[in-house]
Amino acid sequence: MTDTYDVIIAGAGPAGGQAARDLAARGYDVCVLETESEEEFPSRSNKSTAGTFPSTMASFNIPDEVVMNFTDDVVLESPNHHFERHQPGAVLEFADFKNWLVDESRADGAEYRFDARVSKPVMEDGEIVGVRYNGDEEVYGDIIIDATGPSAPLAKALDVCVLEREKQAIGIEYEFEGLDLDPAGYADLTDTMMLRLDHNIAPGGYSWIFHTGEDTAKVGVCYLQNEAHRQNAQSGYTVDDYLQYWVDTDPRFENASRIEGKQHRGSAHVQLPKRMSTDNFMAIGDTVPTVDPLWGEGIDKCMRSGRVAAATADRVLTHSERDTSASELAIYDQLWHERVAPKGKNRLFMTEMLYRASNERYDTLLEDLHRVPQKRLNAVNDGNPLAMFQMLKFEDLSILASTAKDWFSN
């Protein structure tokens, strides 16, 4: 095996796999370092709910073979109300999806080294030139990409990524069978992806049921360790306890049981990225971080970040001088804000306000959604400030003020 490549990618998740796929297709020598063994991959990193939408399926040519269930609608729930919107989607089998990315990029020549735990960058004259892994093994490249997620050993060492503990979301998900998807008093969750806002179940976050076919679903809880969580948390409760509480109290789970071996844990940071690149280096995916703050969707955002990183690498490596300096790679930061997460700041502000609201406010919000024109809802989802302001009530002014105060004090 050669030890020098055009691009080295640490991490074989959606972001790293897509970057490898695009770069290998363009003929570059690519080496991907993945912590897990090939036989187990991706058992320890199989943490995504894997819900996505037709635009993602089409943009990246994701095959139907990795889809567990195609859905027709999205449902929002509060403690006492629900709102349903027609929005086709797909719930992926995340392990099959990640292995598909590996196979696709390998077919075009990308090399994968499994059982390769990345520890730190190899530096020369103050710049990263390679990666150290498994203790003392090293591999070198013109461009290094960190796609390892929140662990971010390379990005942290280069001061590219500063992940804040209070912005860390933790989650747990099980796959269940035997669910009652349409009991009296609840929305019909057949062929839907449902998100629930309820501080009794997910203080400072949300819970979900994603239908995966017949009477099975992915069921989980996720919350940020934020002020809303501290104010609403049950003493001594862990994320596991909240999920168990939900299962014990919701009639949809009365005859349901967990599917053995289908447990997923994970974490991601929900915050604005700052610098995402430097000399010879880019950070992508959840290393940045990239997860959509409002819906928690990560696959599309991660793959888009991998794609714009690959486009940036192609741009600088095609040039005869192969200039991989920070000034040249800064185009990645620009593309990220334009193509990966446009209006990201507005959407994050809206999300932080949302998590500070009470359960009673969640109920009135979902009631209001039935009366709001679809055009305005689309504008709110796109982060339009005027449309966001039009959704507020008088009692929301205190939430607006406290959120703004925290933003400007940080």
SS (H, E, C) 343-384: CHHHHHHHHHHHHHCCHHHHHHHHHHHCCCCHHHHHHHHCCC
Give the pLDDT confidence score for residue 367 in this predicted structure. 94
With contact defined as beta carbons under 8 Å apart, do 24 and 110 qualify?
yes
Q: Dihedrals φ, ψ of 240, to 5°?
A: -65, -40
Amino acid at 68: M
Query: Which whole number is the average pLDDT over 229-235?
Result: 91
Amino acid at 6: D
User: Hey, what CATH topology would domain 64-92+166-269 get?
Assistant: D-Amino Acid Oxidase; Chain A, domain 2 (3.30.9)
Average pLDDT score over the chain: 92
β-pairing, 137-146 vs 281-283, is: parallel
pLDDT one-digit tens code per residue, 313-372: 999 999 888 999 999 999 999 999 999 988 888 888 888 899 999 999 999 999 999 998
Average pLDDT over residues 37-44: 86
Asked which of 64-73, 123-132, 155-164 is least confident by mean pLDDT, the reply is 155-164
Interatomic CA distance for residues 112 and 1, integer angstroms: 11
Euclidean distance between CA atoms 39 and 255, whole angstroms: 34
Mean per-residue pLDDT for 281-300?
85
Whole-number Cα distances in Å, 84 to 73, 160, 188:
7, 40, 9
Least confident of 50-64, 113-127, 162-176, 205-219: 162-176
Give the pLDDT of residue 388: 85
Predicted pLDDT of residue 111? 97
With a cut of 70, say whether residue 46 has pLDDT above it. Answer: no
Q: Is pLDDT above 50 for 287?
A: yes
Mean per-residue pLDDT, 50-67: 94
Question: Which pTM does this prediction carry?
Answer: 0.93
- Beta strand pairing call for 192-196 and 168-177: unpaired
Q: In the prediction, which pLDDT does 1 show?
A: 47
Domain limits, the chain: 4-48+95-163+273-340, 64-92+166-269, 344-409
Between 87 and 383, the higher pLDDT residue: 87
Residue 241 pLDDT exceeds 80: yes
At 271 the pLDDT is 83
Which uninterrupted H or E stretch holds 22? Answer: helix 14-25
Distance of alpha carbon 77 from alpha carbon 81, whole angstroms:
6
DSSP letters spanning 213-279? ETTEEEEEEEEESSHHHHHHPPTT--HHHHHHHHHHH-GGGTT-EEEEEEEEEEEEE-S-----EET
At residue 45, the pLDDT reads 62
The CATH homologous superfamily for domain 4-48+95-163+273-340 is FAD/NAD(P)-binding domain (3.50.50.60)
Asked if residue 222 lies in contact with residue 291, where contact means CB atoms within 8 angstroms, the answer is no
Instruction: Inform me whether the pLDDT recorded for 2 exceeds 60.
Output: no
CA triple 235-238-240, angle to 5 deg: 140
Range 141-158 average pLDDT: 95
Residue 284 or 290, more confident: 284
Pair of tokens at residue 354: 């949302």
Using alpha carbons, select from 352, 388, 127 the residue that is nearest to residue 227: 352
More confident residue, 248 or 292: 248
Question: What digits encode the pLDDT tens for the residues 172-194?
Answer: 999 999 999 999 999 999 999 99
Q: What is the pLDDT of residue 409?
A: 73
Task: Taking residues 50-55, report their average pLDDT.
Answer: 90
How far is residue 103's CA from residue 25's CA, in Å, rounded to a whole number?
Answer: 12
**How confident is the model over 199-225, as a mean pLDDT?**
94
For residues 129 and 297, which has the higher predicted lDDT (pLDDT)? 129
**Who wins on pLDDT, 44 or 310?**
310
CA-closest candidate to residue 348, choices 290, 302, 308: 290
Residue 410: pLDDT band with limits 50, 70, 90: low
